[in-house]
Amino acid sequence: MARAFFFGDRPPGSAHLFGTVTHVSPSAKPAFAVLMCHAFSEERQKSYRSTYLFARQLASVGIPSMRFDYFGTGDSRGNLSDVTLHSMTDDTVEACHEIRERFQVDSIVLLGVRLGAAVATRAANRLGDIDRMIFWNPVIEGRRFLRDLTRTEAMINLARKKRPSAEQKVDVTGIEVDADTLSETMASQLKELDLASETQFASEFLVTGRKSDKIETRQIENLVGSLAARDKRVCCWTGEEREFWSSRSMYDAFYPRLTFETSIEWLTKQRNT
C-alpha cells in the first residue's frame, strides 16, 4: 500500500517536500527501509515509472520504501531556480529522518538514481550512520552530465524552432529546464562534481551500469576502483539494458528488469547478514 504526503520543516512549520511511502504487511518486521533519491530534471520524470515499480517489488519481499521530490522539483514546493546540490542534500537528510520515524527502523539503505547517487552520498556523509548504498547508473562526472543536459535542452528548443541565445551557446547559466531556470550555483556545483573522488561514509555498495555505454563503463570502473581502494565492499553489475531514464522508457512498458533483480538479490543478502 502506498501513501502520499507532505513533510519537511523549511521554513519552520511548512511541509514543503512531497513524499510517497510504500508499506509492507503489518505482520512484517523490516530490518531496514530503502529511501530512493530520484534522478534530476527530465531524467526524474522519465525514470519515475521504474522507481514506482521497484517500490512495489520491494514491498513484495517485505522491504518498505520511500520516494520523494527534492524542493523545487516534481510535486514539492519551490522552483527549479532554488535547487542546488546542497539543497538536494538537505532534503535527503530530512527524508532520512522521515523514513526512520514512519517505519521505526534503525537502518536505511539509500538508493541513488543517476544524479541522485551523488546526493545520496553527501547525505550519508552528513548523517554518518548510513552503511549501505545502491547507485543505479550514477552520474559520476557532473561536467559531462551538464553538457548532456544542455544538449537535450538545445534539441528541444530546435524542435520548438526556438534558437538558443548566444549566451546559452557558450555557457549553461540560465539554461531552461522543464520550463524553469537552472541556477548559476547549481550549474557551478555540477561542473565540480566528481563522484569517484567524493568521501564515502558507507561501507557496502551496489553499483549498476550499462555495457553498451563505453564511457559510462569506464567511469563506473574508476568509481568501483576508488571505492575498493578505500576498503569499501563493492558489488558491481553492468548489463545489456537500455536507459530507463529515456523518453522511450517513459511511454512504453519497459522497466530495468535486470537492475531490479540484481538490486533485490543484493538487498535480500544484506537483510540476511
Q: Do 159 and 90 share a structural domain? A: no
Q: Do 63 and 14 share a structural domain? A: yes
231 Rama class: left (phi>0) / alpha (psi -120 to 50) / beta? left
Q: Do 178 and 69 share a structural domain? A: no
Give tens-digit pLDDT for 260-269.
Answer: 999 999 999 9
Q: Do 212 and 243 share a structural domain? A: yes
pLDDT(238) > 60: yes
pLDDT of residue 176: 61
From 129, 161, 192, give the residue that closes a domain. Answer: 192
* Burial call 18-34: b when 16+ CB within 10 Å, e when fewer: bbbbbebeeeeebbbbb
Query: Residue 10 — very low, low, confident or very high, per pLDDT cuts 50/70/90?
Result: low
pLDDT of residue 158: 43
pLDDT(47) > 80: yes
pLDDT of residue 246: 77
CB 263 within 8 A of CB 54: yes
C-alpha cell at 45: 520524470
Q: Do 55 and 44 share a structural domain? A: yes
Q: Average pLDDT over the chain, rounded to whole?
A: 88
C-alpha cell at 188: 557551478
Q: Do 118 and 215 share a structural domain? A: yes
Q: Do 213 and 158 share a structural domain? A: no
Q: Do 208 and 73 share a structural domain? A: yes
From 192, 208, 224, give the residue that closes a domain. Answer: 192
pTM of the full predicted structure? Answer: 0.90
Spatial separation of the C-alpha atoms in residues 64 and 126, rounded to whole Å: 23
Neighbour count for residue 147 (Cβ, 10 Å): 14
The helix or strand, by DSSP H or E, that contains position 66, with its residue range, turns out to be strand 65-69
Q: Do 227 and 130 share a structural domain? A: yes
Please, which residues bridge with residue 181 across strands? 176
Domains in the chain: how many in total?
2
Q: Do 246 and 121 share a structural domain? A: yes
Q: Do 113 and 65 share a structural domain? A: yes
- 240: domain CATH number? 3.40.50.1820
The separation between CA 35 and the C-alpha centre of its own chain, rounded to angstroms, equals 10
Strand pairing category for 176-177 and 180-181 = antiparallel
pLDDT of residue 180: 66
* Domain interval for residue 159: 142-192
pLDDT(54) > 70: yes
From 154, 175, 192, give the residue that closes a domain. Answer: 192
Please indicate whether residue 109 or residue 272 has the higher confidence score (pLDDT).
109
The separation between CA 237 and the C-alpha centre of its own chain, rounded to angstroms, equals 17
pLDDT of residue 152: 62
pLDDT of residue 119: 98
Task: Please report, rounded to a whole number, the percentage of residues in the chain having pLDDT higher than 90.
Answer: 66
Q: Do 164 and 123 share a structural domain? A: no
Give tens-digit pLDDT for 247-262.
Answer: 666 667 788 999 999 9
Give tens-digit pLDDT for 67-123.
Answer: 999 999 999 999 999 999 999 999 999 999 999 999 999 899 999 999 999 999 999
Give tens-digit pLDDT for 124-183.
Answer: 999 999 999 999 999 999 999 999 888 765 544 544 555 555 444 434 555 666 556 889
